[in-house]
Amino acid sequence: MRVACPLCGDRDSREFTPVGGAELVARPAPEAGAEAWDDYLHNRVNACGPSQELWYHGAGCASWLVVERDTASHEVLGVTLAREVAR
Amino acid sequence: MRYNALKILKEGLIGNRGWRPAWRTPDPRPEYDVVIIGGGGHGLSTAYYLAKEHGLTNVAVLEKGRLGLGNVGRNTTIVRANYFLPGNSEFYSMSLKLWEGLSADLNYNVMHSQRGLINLFHSDGQRDAFARRGNAMINQGDDAVLLDREGVREMLPYLDFEQGRFPIFGGLYHPRGGSARHDAVAWGYARGADSRGVDLVQNCEVTGIDVEGGRVTGVQTTRGAIRAKKVAIVTAGRSGQVAALAGLRLPIESHVLQAFVTEGLKPVIDHVISFGMGHFYISQSDKGGLVFGGDLDFYPSYAQRGNLPMVEHVMEAGMTLMPMIGKAKVLRSWGGIMDMTPDGSPIIDKAPIDGLYLDCGWCYGGFKAVPGSGFALAHLIAQDRPHADAAGFRLDRFRTGVGLMDEEGTGAQHNLH
């Protein structure tokens, strides 16, 4: 797999750490309650097929990225800076 | 038809014309007491123990493809009971005892071979940790022997003991650990369940789970609707997708774990060796292939195949541990879909919908659990209370934080196991 970082260009996937589903970008409010936090921390959509994921470019520009990727084929469909998704 | 040596002799003399298929291929009936989704190792063993231990035979196992073509045929066949934490210890101990009587119980040779498993350690601190684990295993009633470097050298003279990065200080030896023939386990349970009246329905994909008033009433499948009083989801890496049919989200991420086998060689590795620091473990199959694997690729995947960085890492670890492996040629590699939970331990529990049961989250350790998981899930389905040895595998432990079973001590968080 190669991942096209918006800042660094096309890079080896070993430079990145996949962290989980991109729903992690939408963090609940601190007082949102135990159910909301349980859901955020533990439960996953775990989609088969095109999927939005949060990746960290630790061996590159250290940016947080939302990678759209097909979990059935490993094809990378698109990469966006997480801060743009979070807006 | 019972199998025995005399039967083989007789069939050999009459040209093997007397053998019959080991199980029927029935069409699904419109209603069952229990429907098990997933015809892999865990689903088939659940059906077997439902019939054998609880007398429930109005049971169907629904498999979207053919029996036993998922993870039960894609693992590296290691069987062990060397867990540390209460909750896991008693469960895997129970499962290993079932393994030890399995071939006789099923009248089917699963080729369970207790050749011994050795977990290597590489520092004084790791020795302390493994001594503690060994004591936990002995307290559980299982076996463990702490070997020093010379003890390991006697058993595994071909390892590189003086390697600079991870010099071998010793190993924790688990004599009752070993391996089994994974296909035979699926086939043996399938035959045993079928002969007790369970319908094994193949090429039957579940496309919907019917819920009325908070209670499960049946399933929709590619072979029509089937009503059921109880439904169990036993679909390993696909658990999240099947649970979504009932509107549930599970604490599971599906990841790919790769495995490798070399061309057949003469006997060279007599044990199962686990090199935890290199994320590498190896054994030799009865056909002669060296079967080995490593760690997850660490990105979510349903592809049943991995990528080259982990292939390279596993090969490097193998060369670090036993340079002689460089002479062997890799024949095949493949991947399986692992249902990873945040704490690395499984779930056998009722779902928040009445009559719906979950057996999932086996991470990369489901094979050795096949007998125990089926035994415990059958107990839960039949009696609606957990089996004592699997009572810790609760779904709500992540929400409450009570009873987390994090064997690695890294934290109950996705992506750490």
Over the stretch B253-290, which tens digit does the pLDDT of each residue have?
999 999 999 999 999 999 999 999 999 999 999 999 99
CA distance A35 to chain B (A): 7
Contact B249 A45 (CB under 8 A): yes
Residue A3 and residue B227: Cα distance in Å, rounded? 46
ipTM: 0.95
Interface with B, mutate which of A42, A45, A75 (most B CBs under 10 A): A42
Residue in B251, B309, B342 nearest the CB of A13: B309
pLDDT at site B83:
97
B416 in helix, strand or coil? coil
Residue B409 and residue B345: Cα distance in Å, rounded? 12
CATH classification of the domain holding A27: 3.30.2270.10
- The alpha carbons of chain B give a radius of gyration, in whole angstroms, of 21
Average confidence (pLDDT) over B144-152: 98
CA distance A43 to chain B (A): 4
pLDDT-derived band at B337 (thresholds 50, 70, 90) equals very high
Residue in B300, B309, B398 nearest the CB of A42: B398
Looking at the predicted structure, is the pLDDT value of residue B400 above 90? Answer: yes
Contact B298 A18 (CB under 8 A): yes
Looking at the predicted structure, is the pLDDT value of residue A86 above 80? Answer: no
Complete DSSP assignment for B235-267: -GGGHHHHHHTTT--BS-EEEEEEEEEEEE-SS
Average confidence (pLDDT) over B297-310: 95
CA A65 from chain centre, in angstroms, equals 6
pLDDT at site B415:
85
- Tell me if chain A has a CB within 8 Å of the CB of B345: no
- Tell me if chain B has a CB within 8 Å of the CB of A10: no
Of the candidates B103, B85, B36, B6, the one whose C-alpha atom is nearest the C-alpha of residue B373 is B36
Residue B404 and residue B323: Cα distance in Å, rounded? 39
Q: Which range among A20-24, B151-155, B167-171, B293-297 shows the weakest confidence by mean pLDDT?
A: A20-24
B341, amino acid identity: T
- For chain B positions 365-404, those within 8 Å of chain A (CB to CB) are 398-399
Give the chain A residue whose CA is nearest to the CA of B309. Answer: A14
How high does pLDDT run on average in chain B? 97
Tokens read off for B324: 């002689």
In sequence order, the 6+-apart residues with CB closer than 8 A to the CB of B250 are: A43, A44, A46, B239, B240, B243, B347, B358, B360, B361
Which residue's entry shows tokens 């859901």? Answer: A39
Biggest CA–CA distance in chain A, Å, is: 40
- Tell me if chain B has a CB within 8 Å of the CB of A53: yes
Average confidence (pLDDT) over B206-235: 98
- pLDDT digit string, tens, across residues A17-67: 999 998 888 899 999 999 999 999 999 999 999 999 999 999 999 999 999
Residue B25 CA: distances (Å) to CA of B38, B198, B311, B379: 15, 11, 39, 26
- For chain B positions 219-248, those within 8 Å of chain A (CB to CB) are 238, 240-241
Q: Which domains are present in chain B? A: 5-11+22-78+182-251+343-400 (3.50.50.60), 114-178+253-340 (3.30.9.10)
CA distance B250 to chain A (A): 5
B41 in helix, strand or coil? helix
Of the candidates B56, B36, B45, the one whose C-alpha atom is nearest the C-alpha of residue B196 is B56
Contact B300 A72 (CB under 8 A): no
Tokens read off for B61: 């196992």
Of the candidates B40, B34, B80, the one whose C-alpha atom is nearest the C-alpha of residue B58 is B34
Residue B96 and residue B101: Cα distance in Å, rounded? 9
Residue in B241, B251, B415 nearest the CB of A48: B241
Residue B258 and residue B337: Cα distance in Å, rounded? 9
Contact A46 B252 (CB under 8 A): yes
- Tell me if chain B has a CB within 8 Å of the CB of A39: yes
Task: Determine the structural domain holding residue A56 and report its residue range.
Answer: 2-86
- Tell me if chain A has a CB within 8 Å of the CB of B313: no
In sequence order, the 6+-apart residues with CB closer than 8 A to the CB of B308 are: none
B77, amino acid identity: T
Decide if B411 contacts B404 (C-beta within 8 A): no
Give chain A's domain count: 1
DSSP state of A57: -
Decide if B200 contacts B61 (C-beta within 8 A): yes
Residue B254 and residue A45: Cα distance in Å, rounded? 10
- The alpha carbons of chain A give a radius of gyration, in whole angstroms, of 14
pLDDT at site B93:
98
Looking at the predicted structure, is the pLDDT value of residue A1 above 90? Answer: no
All residues of chain B having their beta carbon less than 8 Å from the beta carbon of residue A73 are 303
Which helix H or strand E contains B128, and what residues bound it? helix B124-139
CA distance A87 to chain B (A): 25
Residue B278 and residue B270: Cα distance in Å, rounded? 20
Looking at the predicted structure, is the pLDDT value of residue B417 above 90? Answer: no
Average confidence (pLDDT) over B125-153: 98
pLDDT-derived band at A85 (thresholds 50, 70, 90) equals confident
- Tell me if chain A has a CB within 8 Å of the CB of B312: no
Question: Is the sign of the CA dihedral B347, B349, B351, B357 positive or negative?
Answer: positive
Interface with A, mutate which of B296, B297, B339, B399 (most A CBs under 10 A): B399
pLDDT-derived band at B391 (thresholds 50, 70, 90) equals very high
Tokens read off for B386: 């957990």
Question: How many C-beta neighbours within 10 Å does residue B241 have?
Answer: 18
Residue in B249, B299, B309 nearest the CB of A18: B299
pLDDT-derived band at B164 (thresholds 50, 70, 90) equals confident
pLDDT-derived band at A16 (thresholds 50, 70, 90) equals very high
CA distance B122 to chain A (A): 27
Looking at the predicted structure, is the pLDDT value of residue B306 above 80? Answer: yes
